[in-house]
Structure 1
Amino acid sequence: MKKLILTVTFLAFYCVVIAQTDAEKARAKVGKAIELMDNGSIDESIVILEECEKLDPENYLYPYEIAFAYVKKKEYEKAIRILKKTLEYDNINSLVYQMLGNAYSYSGDEKRAIRTYEKGMKKFPNAGNLHLEKGNIFWFQEKYDEAVNNYRKGIEVDPMFASNYYRLALLYLSSSDKLTGLIYAEIFMNLERSSARTREISKLIYKTYKNAITLGKDESSMDFCEIVIDAKSLEDGGDLKLPLCAIFGKHFVLGMFGMEKVNSESIAKMRASFIERFFEEDYKQYSNVLFDYQKKLLDAGLLETYTRYILQMGDSKGFNEWAIANERKLNKFTDWYLDKENYMEVTQKNKFIN
């Protein structure tokens, strides 16, 4: 009886293997190809991907990955030929246009790259990645205003796509409008929580606060932005609405009183003080997703700990010393922050574009 059961089990397994489709065989192989590519064995990866393409010729994934392999090898013409054919597949996504545009850009044909991104935008109007890549071309051409406009447009159509915030943060944090840069930077850190770029931005945020705040016995000052009043709107009979820079300064400066050093501890207290005052008076007119998120953290008793987290790469020694002494606080924040219900969600209604 035992022998019969074993025989039946074997036959059932054999039938499942025989029934496996070519498409399933291709999907089983592709993981190994990606692993080889990531480890630098690009030619071996291409061989496997070409086998996958023969098994499942209707799937655009395999020629896309082959083209990506050629991009990594800097064989851009080969990549371009493959990607142009890949555009003819059904169910492609914006990444195909992105890589084709990038291949043109890397080969020195920036005009064709832009045309490719723009064609992709028509097919995928909500593709923030295509606006990013178009902006990057202007960035490298040092046409920063045009780069900013494209990154902003990327946020407008795809507010949860992190990379446009990253680029805008870098641009604004190197300008006189550091407040806008800080907002973009912190939104980015919440959308892309753990990466080399996140660590880079953490350092920049801390450095910006350190450089923008001057504390003295008799006089303290801050330099986050320049206050510009739109006089023309007043001449035309419009209502005066102060720029965000003025509102921020009005509330933030009050949190600086009594502070002796600019470090993670004092910055955390200043930021908490700002949010308390801001939500007492001005949040309805100037609300944005970041300030709303900080208020949520304040109400949970976690804003100062969150600020320590945001600044940790800029003040790693201070953060580590604080973390050892405040293990319970850090654990409470970590549990809250890792709960998906507490992830920042940027929508068309609450997105920040400045």
Structure 2
Amino acid sequence: MLRTIYFIIAITAFSLANAQTKTFKCQEIHRAIQLIDDEKYDEGIAILKDCEKKDPQDYTYPYEIAFAYIKKKDYKNAISQLEKVEGYSNIDDYYYALLGSAYDLSNNPNQALKVYDEGLKRFPASGKLYLEKGVVLELEKKISNAIESYEAGIKADPSYPSNYYRVSRLYLDSNDLLSGLMYGEIFINLERTTPRSQEISQLLYNGYKKAVKFDNNQVQVDFCPAIIDAQEYDKNNKLSWCIIFAKNFALSALNTKEINLDILSSVRRQFLKEYYVKDYKDYPNVLMDYHKTMENNKVFDAYNHYIFQIGDQEAFKDWKVKNGKEYNTFVEWYTADKNVLKIDRNNIYISDQIKK
């Protein structure tokens, strides 16, 4: 069931986007896709087969036929449709994504993984194929391998949101909370105001509350299992990002007694001051740079309330009522194209923690 739900969400987007942006010799494809969306699969397939006869060089028609068969749960015919056009010169990474999904849905995850690996040889920069591979591995309970695939997808295509989404959820359910917090926040900035970003907003807030504990007026932070072996540590080597983060966060939270929406924002603002005293030089971080830009533009406090709002919706509503002008200023700044989070292969964040 989980496989089917994920597949429909992930793959349906291609049919809609491809049909809207591409010009086809057979214009009836649009009607066929609508019929398939209306669950009139056989009618849609019949039209697509006629289109295929009129324009036999375009693999989109057999692709959409296969998509319809998958929605009918006829995986055998879906695989047959896709395999017959494997040699087409104009296939793209969506082809391998769909074929792999067909194998996975037909209870053949090993063949699905082979298809994704084959696709990655041809399209090594496809974040989508790393995502699909990671999902299969995750559903097979091979969590470490799934994380490796998602992170490889981030390296290959740093602006593709879904790998951040999947890997953040895994880390936030582990003892390496910081990696989850980092990936999750980057995700929200790449994919804003969606059900997935709202889900991550809640998980991020819960993650900070879980990582920061208060005991007898002392603050304890536990963002990850970062341990220094004094005998093996070379002072000339860099520390892990988690150690640097935890140090600055603990210093920033010294005078606090709890974590709530306002306090979390205040601590994160103080964190920037601590981090930019020195550590930013040796431990650059794309998300911290983005935070600094927002702080310089006086929108970081509003951003913090926005990013964690689902964690405490009542507190966010109260803050917004009292700080409406500040929030509107933030929204105007945040929605300007020039102010989006710019992330590429030169500044990506990849967790440096050893997988446990």
Band of TM-score, shorter chain: 0.7 to 0.9
> Distance in 1 between the 2:67 and 2:312 partners?
38
| Cα deviation, residue 305, structure 1 | 0.9
What residue in structure 1 maps to residue 306 of structure 2?
309
Q: In the superposition, relative to structure 1, how do residues 181 and 24 fare at CA in structure 2: closer, same or farther (>3 Å)?
A: closer
Quick one: percent identity of the two aligned structures?
40
* AA aligned opposite 2:125: N
Q: Counterpart of 1:150 in 2: which secondary structure?
A: helix
> Distance in 2 between the 1:126 and 1:232 partners?
40
TM (norm. structure 1) is 0.87
> Distance in 2 between the 1:140 and 1:156 partners?
22
> Distance in 1 between the 2:32 and 2:276 partners?
53
Query: Deviation digits for residues 115-168 of structure 1, max 9, x if unmatched?
Result: 111111111111111122222222122111111111111111111111111121
More helix as a share of residues: 1
Query: Deviation digits for residues 155-185 of structure 1, max 9, x if unmatched?
Result: 1111111111112101111111101110011
What residue in structure 2 maps to residue 98 of structure 1?
97
Residue 324 (structure 2) aligned to one of 323, 327, 335? 327
> Distance in 2 between the 1:32 and 1:275 partners?
54
> Distance in 1 between the 2:180 and 2:232 partners?
26
Gaps of 5+ in 2: 1-21, 352-356
What residue in structure 1 maps to residue 259 of structure 2?
262
Q: Residues 83-232 of structure 1 correspond to what in structure 2 (within 5 A)?
A: 83-215=82-214, 218-229=217-228
* AA aligned opposite 1:249: A
**Count of paired positions:** 330
What residue in structure 2 maps to residue 288 of structure 1?
285
Query: Deviation digits for residues 88-141 of structure 1, max 9, x if unmatched?
Result: 222211010111011111111122111111111111111111122222222122
Q: In the superposition, relative to structure 1, how do residues 334 and 54 fare at CA in structure 2: closer, same or farther (>3 Å)?
A: farther
The answer to whether the aligner puts 1:300 opposite 2:291 as a matched pair is: no
* AA aligned opposite 2:201: S
| Cα deviation, residue 226, structure 1 | 2.4
* AA aligned opposite 1:33: A
Q: In the superposition, relative to structure 1, how do residues 275 and 51 fare at CA in structure 2: closer, same or farther (>3 Å)?
A: farther
> Distance in 1 between the 2:198 and 2:47 partners?
35
Determine if contact 2:252/2:274 at 8 Å carries over to the other structure: no
> Distance in 2 between the 1:316 and 1:27 partners?
49
* AA aligned opposite 1:296: T
> Distance in 2 between the 1:116 and 1:149 partners?
18
Determine if contact 1:80/1:100 at 8 Å carries over to the other structure: yes
Q: Counterpart of 2:218 in 1: which secondary structure?
A: coil
Q: Counterpart of 1:262 in 2: which secondary structure?
A: coil
Determine if contact 1:165/1:185 at 8 Å carries over to the other structure: yes
Q: Counterpart of 2:58 in 1: which secondary structure?
A: coil
> Distance in 2 between the 1:212 and 1:166 partners?
20
Q: In the superposition, relative to structure 1, how do residues 90 and 25 fare at CA in structure 2: closer, same or farther (>3 Å)?
A: closer
* AA aligned opposite 1:83: L
Determine if contact 1:60/1:89 at 8 Å carries over to the other structure: yes
Determine if contact 2:161/2:190 at 8 Å carries over to the other structure: yes
* AA aligned opposite 2:348: K
Q: In the superposition, relative to structure 1, how do residues 86 and 343 fare at CA in structure 2: closer, same or farther (>3 Å)?
A: farther
Q: In the superposition, relative to structure 1, how do residues 27 and 301 fare at CA in structure 2: closer, same or farther (>3 Å)?
A: farther
Q: Counterpart of 1:53 in 2: which secondary structure?
A: helix
> Distance in 2 between the 1:316 and 1:258 partners?
25
> Distance in 1 between the 2:288 and 2:246 partners?
14
Q: In the superposition, relative to structure 1, how do residues 25 and 105 fare at CA in structure 2: closer, same or farther (>3 Å)?
A: closer
> Distance in 2 between the 1:312 and 1:348 partners?
30
